Amino acid sequence: MGILVIDDEAPIRKLLEITLQSNGYTVGLAATAKEGLAMTVNDSPDLIILDLGLPDENGQSILKKMRAWYDRPVIILSVQNRETDIITALDNGANDYLVKPFRTGELLARIRSALRSATGEDNEPVLRLNDLEIDLSARIVKKDNVPLRLTATQYSLLALFGKNAGKVLTHQYLLREIWGESYTDQLQYLRVFIAQLRKKIEKDINYPKHIITESGVGYRFVAGEP
Amino acid sequence: MLDVRILFPFTANNKISRPYQYLISIVLVCLVSAVCFLFAAYIGAQVVAFILLLTLSLIAMSFDILPVLLTALLSALIWDFFFLGPRYNFRVGNTEDKILLSMYFVIALVNAVLTFKIRQIEKIARLKEEKAQTLRLYNTLLNSLSHEFRTPLATIIGATDNLLEEPSRLSPTDSRRLLSEISVASLRLNRQVENLLNMSRLESGFIQPKKDWHDMKELTYSIVHQLEEQLIRHRIEVDIREDIPLVRLDYGLIEQVLYHLVYNAALYTPESALIRISARCPDRALEIIVEDDGPGFPEAEVGRVFDKFYRFTYSQRNSRTGGSGLGLSIVKGFVEAHNGTVELMNRLSGGARFVINLPVENFSTSIGS
């Protein structure tokens, strides 16, 4: 698996090179947007780690450009932790967003998860996520092999999560997909249904392991490590 | 400096506007003159002069120079016209009275100018004092910051030196211990940077809470998760009713508030102490309580904890805890940005209790499924 790192800070490039290589990935390094875009075209990496604060071009606009022809996962790595920046990056097509400083374990987990969904493992008609089994064609959800009784909305929400396992889904995206365009500012609906869904699928509702809150941004459905 | 301020108690604040100063001066001089006039048969013109000078001195203590000069002129004329013989005209009879009148005028002027000058000196002194105060605060900040940044940096530099230069002499356990020290120190640095950014947001006055619907249970448990490592030796109790309504607040800000309070509780209480987080939603309000059964705060310090740079005296003896003294002032700032209040009290049974009250809209979660 080839990963391209686009970051203008040499220490971060070095850290990522060592971390990723020792975990069995081949690594390409770029220090500028120009270099990064050229390497994306030439090497067609399996995943890109992109810093938003590059010297020659704004990261958000590079992301938009890339997305015109590059459809594999892009993970943003940035010192900006403002919620609006994160939401913009996700809207511009980023798969995930990590704020510097980050824990390497966390980064590796996000990479694995992004690669898994990109290679189509999660696009089967039946999604198996640890103790959960979502049969998208039969619309049946099982937890520890016991069928769950879900309402239509609860099922749509869970299916949407399952199809995007590992990816951060913004509040607006979820509201638009499930309730429609005019509901994108009705966050209270989402909160209520997330709470209901958690009650049914989580072992301990206070320690959710499936539906993780991304503070101020949205939710992430965690498939668990295989 | 202080004496001057006591002498002129009205000058610092509550300044009366210029037109009112003229009005009050004229009315006061006329009033005093009228009273003297009633008793003119019993007191001599010289006594009246002293009474008028006293009135002038009183006016000079708190009013600007121009009204005071006007008062001086007016009182001299009144004295001459109504009291100094021959009365009811501005002529002055004998030489003695002429000397008296000119002296009256000179004394009145000197009086006015002197008090004015003293007040100017006082004003400069006050500005200097304010500057010194700012400088002291600034120094406290720098001291506290350089300590908070240098301590973890010293750990990181020292540990990496060891790891780079003497790898063969270190046992694997020692290497691991050094590495984990580096990790802890960097997390501490990161937290300080976060605090500084939050503080500067507060100082700039640009905190606009971005309110949206949130689930208090979710917020609370997210804090407990984030602080899992710090709380490993403590007992945590969360008391939030299952059916607590959704509340409208800025998640990021209130998350920071709870983070600081729970983090502090973990830092300043002994192992196996109980930390309890509870929240309830009375009418149009949200009450969050973070309490512990640790040693609590000394009563004398309870009122000061939300001051900037405050550090619990105990914590200075405990080098592991650290802290820039910004945490609780950030808590207060973020709570106040929500128009809420935060209070600290010691529990009767021992331990500290922080009570946060926020006015919030709420939304019942019991809508249809």
Do the Cβ atoms of A202 and B239 come closer than 8 Å?
no
Q: Which residues contact A204 (CB under 8 A, 6 or more apart)?
A: none
In a domain, B369, yes or no: no
In a domain, B340, yes or no: yes
* Residues B266, B281 within the same domain: yes
Residues of B in Cβ contact (< 8 Å) with A153? 369
* Residues B64, B50 within the same domain: yes
User: What's the number of domains chain B is made of?
Assistant: 2
Residue from B256, B288, B237, B275 nearest B352 by CA = B275
Domain covering A2-118 in this structure, CATH number: 3.40.50.2300
CB contact under 8 A, A192 and B190: no
**Helix ranges (DSSP H) in chain B:** 2-7, 18-38, 45-62, 65-78, 95-165, 172-204, 216-226, 251-268, 313-317, 327-337
Nearest to B221 among A187, A206, A215 (CB): A206
Residues of A in Cβ contact (< 8 Å) with B222? 213, 215
Amino acid (1-letter code) at residue A219 = Y
How many residue contacts between A and B have a Cβ separation below 8 Å?
45
Q: Give the orientation angle of helix B18-38 with respect to helix B65-78, to 10 degrees.
A: 20
* Residues B186, B236 within the same domain: no
Between A45 and B317, the more confident residue is: A45
Query: Tokens at residue B85, please?
Result: 């013989």
ipTM: 0.72
In a domain, B368, yes or no: no
Interface contact A206, partner B, CB < 8 A: yes
**Domain endpoint, select from B173, B206, B239:** B206
> Phi then psi for B368, rounded to 5 degrees?
-55, 155
Do the Cβ atoms of A185 and B200 come closer than 8 Å?
no
Write the DSSP symbol of residue B282.
-
* Residues B195, B313 within the same domain: no
pLDDT at residue B15, as a whole number: 66
pLDDT at residue B301, as a whole number: 79
Q: What is the largest CA-CA distance in chain A?
A: 54
Interface contact B66, partner A, CB < 8 A: no
Mean pLDDT of chain A: 87
Residue to test with chain B: of A86, A191, A222, most B Cβ within 10 A: A191
Q: What is the CATH number of the domain that holds B268?
A: 3.30.565.10
**Residue position matching structure tokens 């030489």:** B95
| Residues B101, B156: Cα–Cα separation, whole Å | 82
Interface contact B309, partner A, CB < 8 A: no
* Residues B128, B249 within the same domain: no
**Domain endpoint, select from B158, B175, B206:** B206
Interface contact A151, partner B, CB < 8 A: yes
Q: How far is CA B135 from the centre of its chain?
A: 15
**Domain endpoint, select from B206, B229, B252:** B206
Does A124-221 carry CATH code 1.10.10.10? yes
pLDDT by position in tens, chain B (length 369): 333 333 444 444 456 788 888 898 899 989 999 999 888 888 888 888 888 888 888 888 888 888 888 888 888 888 888 888 778 877 877 888 888 888 888 888 888 888 888 888 988 999 998 888 778 777 776 776 777 788 789 889 988 988 988 778 888 888 898 898 898 888 888 888 887 888 787 777 777 888 888 889 888 988 888 888 888 899 999 999 888 888 999 888 898 899 999 998 998 889 899 999 999 988 888 999 999 998 888 887 787 788 766 655 444 434 444 555 678 888 988 899 899 999 999 988 889 999 999 998 877 765 544
pLDDT at residue A167, as a whole number: 84
With a cut of 80, say whether residue A20 has pLDDT above it.
yes
Residues of B in Cβ contact (< 8 Å) with A102? none
* Residues B39, B122 within the same domain: yes
| Residues B256, B194: Cα–Cα separation, whole Å | 10
Residues of B in Cβ contact (< 8 Å) with A211? none
**Residues of B266-299 as b/e, b for ≥16 C-beta within 10 angstroms?**
bbbbeeebebbbbbebeeeebebbbbbbbbbbee
CB contact under 8 A, B222 and A151: no
In this prediction, residue A97 has a pLDDT band, given cuts at 50, 70 and 90, of: very high
Residues of B in Cβ contact (< 8 Å) with A85? none
Do the Cβ atoms of A43 and A29 come closer than 8 Å?
no
Looking at the complex, report in whole angstroms how far the Cα of residue B243 sits from the nearest Cα belonging to chain A.
11
With a cut of 90, say whether residue A39 has pLDDT above it.
yes
In a domain, B62, yes or no: yes
Residue from B320, B245, B231 nearest B287 by CA = B245
Least confident of A40-44, A154-158, B42-46: B42-46
Range of the domain at B325: 212-363
pLDDT at residue B328, as a whole number: 86
Going from N- to C-terminal start, the domains of chain A cover: 2-118, 124-221
pLDDT at residue B317, as a whole number: 38
Three-state secondary structure call for residue B281: coil
CB contact under 8 A, A191 and B213: yes
* Residues B169, B240 within the same domain: no
* Residues B57, B190 within the same domain: yes
In a domain, B309, yes or no: yes
In a domain, B255, yes or no: yes
| Residues B247, B122: Cα–Cα separation, whole Å | 52
Interface contact A84, partner B, CB < 8 A: no
* Residues B229, B200 within the same domain: no
